[in-house]
């Protein structure tokens, strides 16, 4: 009996040793492959293209040009506050004109290099920064993602999607969902009609422009009812688009709708 146990143990040890060796070889090949890739396509800064140590990153100089949004924040609008009260605080702007969403969070202010990166991603098919954006979104939206049942990208109008060939919000939602482990549903929210560009419109004009523009397809209603939703978009400007989308989701039964974006305009009423 002892001999058979010894043989079985030896067999188990051999299997474990073989598995460990295979894992070690896989790691070695992966490291060699990464080294070869770095020789062919050396990592460069996503902002200025200078050589750096790692892929999907910024050099120190470009990093300093990003105006990251840090606490203290207005708990509703996600805008920086001057004073840290040590507790969730609502700004005067949010009290005077509360949004239809519950909370908003953004990575950085929509200015300087962040504006350049977002415009390149959105309008020039430059998706090199998508993994960096995913990391940033996951960090900035940590508390929202912890509460979320589902991530929903803000949809584009059909003709705009055909012209652009991709929805930047859907790419961002996919990256954030992959990193946070939260499911993403790009079909839960649709635009019922096309709208003119929001650029250059006042906040009141933006609100009128997107009023009633979003709807939830009937087949998606069970996926929305009772859920905590995180809307994902590239930029929060006036909050009009996010509010219109949040109203549609809440009418469909969503119990909470938060908003997560790459950038936010620091003045809500600009």
Q: Which residues contact 222 (CB under 8 A, 6 or more apart)?
A: none
CA–CA separation, 157 and 214 (whole Å): 10
Res 261 pLDDT > 70: yes
Backbone angles phi, psi at 66, to 5 degrees: -90, 125
- Residues ≥6 apart with Cβ < 8 Å to 77: 91, 93, 94, 99, 104, 239, 268
Query: What local confidence, expressed as pLDDT, does residue 231 receive?
Result: 98
| Residue extents of the structural domains in the chain | 69-264
Who wins on pLDDT, 172 or 87? Answer: 172
Q: What is the percent of the chain where pLDDT is above 70?
A: 74
Residue 83 C-beta-side C-alpha neighbours within 13 Å: 5
Contacts of 65 (CB under 8 A, 6+ apart): 47, 112, 113
Q: How far apart are CA 84 and CA 270, in angstroms?
A: 24
Is residue 11 over pLDDT 60?
A: no
Furthest-apart CA atoms within the chain: distance in Å: 85
| CA–CA dist 52, 44 (Å, integer) | 5
Q: What is the pLDDT of residues 184-200, one digit of tens each?
A: 999 999 987 655 555 55
Q: What are phi and psi of 76, to 5 degrees?
A: -90, -50
Mean pLDDT of 127-149: 96
Statement: residue 208 has pLDDT above 50: yes
Give the bridge partners for 229, in sequence order.
150, 257
Q: pTM for this structure? A: 0.81
pLDDT band at 107 (very low <50, low <70, confident <90, very high): very high
Looking at residue 205, what is its pLDDT? 55
Predicted confidence at residue 206, as pLDDT, reads: 55
Query: Which comes out higher in pLDDT, residue 264 or 126?
Result: 264
User: CA separation (Å) from 104 to 116, 161, 176, 262?
Assistant: 22, 25, 15, 11
Q: Is the pLDDT of residue 258 over 80?
A: yes
- CB 169, CB 154: distance < 8 Å: yes
Distance CA 59, CA 202 (A): 36
Task: State the pLDDT at residue 122.
Answer: 86
pLDDT of amino acid 156: 86
Reported confidence tier of residue 48, pLDDT bands at 50, 70, 90 = very high
The sign one gets for the Cα dihedral 233, 236, 240, 243 is positive
Architecture of the domain made up of 69-264: 3-Layer(aba) Sandwich (3.40)
In angstroms, the CA 262 to CA 235 distance is 6
Are 200 and 210 in contact by the 8 Å Cβ rule? The answer is no
Residue 85: predicted pLDDT: 87
pLDDT band at 269 (very low <50, low <70, confident <90, very high): very low
Question: What H or E segment, with its residue span, contains residue 82?
Answer: none
Which helix (H) or strand (E) segment holds residue 256: the answer is strand 256-264
Q: Give the least confident one: 51-55, 76-80, 201-205.
A: 201-205
Q: 270: pLDDT confidence band, cut at 50, 70 and 90?
A: very low
Q: Could you tell me whether strands 103-109 and 256-264 are parallel, antiparallel, or unpaired per DSSP bridges?
A: parallel
The Cα–Cα gap between 27 and 115 comes to 38
């Amino acid at each position: 009996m002892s001999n058979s146990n010894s043989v079985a143990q030896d067999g188990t040890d051999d299997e474990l040793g073989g598995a460990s060796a295979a894992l070690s070889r896989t790691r070695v090949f992966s490291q060699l492959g990464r080294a070869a890739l770095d020789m062919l396509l050396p990592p460069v800064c996503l902002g200025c293209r200078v050589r750096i140590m790692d892929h999907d990153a910024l050099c120190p100089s470009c990093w300093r040009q990003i105006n990251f949004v840090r606490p203290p924040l207005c708990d509703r609008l996600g805008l920086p506050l001057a004073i840290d009260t040590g507790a969730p605080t609502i700004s005067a702007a949010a009290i005077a004109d509360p949004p239809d969403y519950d909370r908003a969070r953004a990575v950085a202010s929509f200015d300087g290099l962040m504006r350049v990166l977002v415009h390149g991603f959105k309008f020039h098919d430059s998706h090199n920064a998508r993994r960096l954006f995913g990391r940033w979104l996951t960090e900035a939206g940590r508390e929202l993602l912890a509460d979320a049942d589902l991530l929903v990208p803000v949809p584009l109008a059909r003709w705009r999607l055909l012209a652009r060939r991709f929805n930047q919000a859907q790419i961002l939602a996919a990256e954030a969902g992959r990193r946070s482990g939260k499911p993403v549903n790009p079909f839960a929210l649709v635009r019922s009609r096309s709208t003119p560009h929001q650029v250059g419109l006042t906040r009141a004009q933006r609100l009128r422009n997107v009023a009633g523009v979003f709807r939830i397809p009937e087949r998606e209603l069970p996926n929305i009812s009772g859920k905590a939703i995180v809307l994902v978009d590239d930029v929060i400007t006036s909050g009009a688009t996010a509010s219109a989308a949040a109203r549609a989701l809440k009418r469909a039964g969503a119990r909470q709708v938060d908003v997560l974006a790459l950038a936010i305009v620091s003045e809500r009423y600009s």
